[in-house]
Amino acid sequence: MAFSIRLTEAEKAIANSYAKLHSVSLGEAFKNALFEKIEDEYDITVAAEAYQEYVSAGKKSRPFSELKKELGL
């Protein structure tokens, strides 16, 4: 699938610099950025759902210092 986007000259310069910095084509740079963003948002959503399940199950966190003490560290 192909698509096009309109960029200002400043946006185009930034995008080209980014692509050059990472030694990829402009298209590859946009594709990578898009999928990184999708993955980040997916991870955030999954983490929020997991935390909600954790809280709904009545579980609570505790300070790290308590865990270290329990483990004798």
Per run of 10 residues, the mean pLDDT along the chain (length 73 residues) is 93 97 96 97 98 93 92 93
pLDDT of 3 = 87
Q: Which tokens is 55 given? A: 């809280």
Distance between CA atoms of residues 69 and 62, nearest Å? 12
First vs last Cα of the chain: how many Å apart? 55
Model pTM greater than 0.85? no
